[in-house]
Amino acid sequence: MVTEEKQIGFTACNHKNIDFKNIALEELEHIASCEICAAQYAGFIEKQAMIKAPHYLKDNILKKSRAFSGVWNINKHIRLQMSWKRLQMFCYGMKIGLAMCGALAILFLVPVGDSQQKEPAVGVNFIDKMNRELREFSDNVLEYTDLLVLNSDANNKEDISHDKEKE
């Protein structure tokens, strides 16, 4: 049954008396794009004379289709893997980029003036303290060694005087 759409298509394509027996290339191109004419052409071929296809043709086609679907599945798997790798690479790149932006933000946005004053003061206090303590320690060590020396001198002098009295 011819529907309205088909009728419109029919008139638009100008399906007028295509001679299927002596067909031209332009008409063939039309048949390749028009469903109605293709069906008519198929009917003509079926009525006129059909040629028997080679006996091995079906097996060859089925073999190639199975090979094709196998290759297609492998390609699909490879494509999925590649897309997953690309996604991982993208996430990694985003992380690096965010980290860089954060570092730059901290560098430029955090106020520098107060910190410059504070940090040297803390540093200076700490260093001064350390210096003082070290000096005190060294002074104490020197005093102790001086005392030791003085005591040893005094003992030596007493010994000498005792020896002289005995003689």
Partner 1 sequence: MIFQTRSSGRQEEEVEKIDCDNYLEHLINAYGNLVFSICFRLAGSYFDAEDLTQDTFLSAYKNLHTFDGKNDKAWVCRIATNKCLDYLKRAGRNVVPMEDTYFNEVQCNKPSPEEYVLETDMKQELYNLCSHLKPPYQEIALDYFYYEKDISEIVKQSGKNVKTIQTQVYRSKIMLRKLWRKE
**Residue with Cβ nearer partner 1 (24 or 141):** 24
Q: Least distance in Å: CB of 88 to partner 1?
A: 21
Is 2 a residue that touches partner 1 (CB under 8 A)? no
For residue 98, how far is the Cα from the chain centroid? 13
Q: Looking only at residues 36 through 75 of this chain, which bind partner 1 when binding is defined by CB under 8 A?
A: 36, 38-39, 41-42, 45-46, 49-58, 60-62, 64-66, 68-69
**C-beta of 24: minimal distance to partner 1 in Å?**
7
- Near partner 1 by CB under 8 A: residue from 29, 128, 143, 159: 29
Q: Which is nearer to partner 1, 87 or 98 (CB)?
A: 87
Number of Cα atoms under 13 Å in the Cβ half of residue 26: 4
Which residues between 6 and 25 bind partner 1 (CB under 8 A)? Answer: 21-25
Per DSSP, the residues of the chain read ---HHHHHHHHHHT-----STT--HHHHHHHHH-HHHHHHHHHHHHHH-PPPPPTTHHHHHHHHHHHHHHHHHHHHHHHHHHHHHHHHHHHHHHHHHHHHHHHHHHHHHS--HHHHHHHHHHHHHHHHHHHHHHHHHHHHHHHHHHHHHHHHHHHHHHHHHHHHHH-
Minimum distance, C-beta of residue 56 to partner 1, in the bound complex (Å)? 8
Q: Residue 33, interface with partner 1 (CB under 8 A)? A: yes
Residue 166 touching partner 1 (CB under 8 A): no
**Residues found near partner 1 in the complex (CB under 8 A):** 21-25, 28-29, 31-36, 38-39, 41-42, 45-46, 49-58, 60-62, 64-66, 68-69
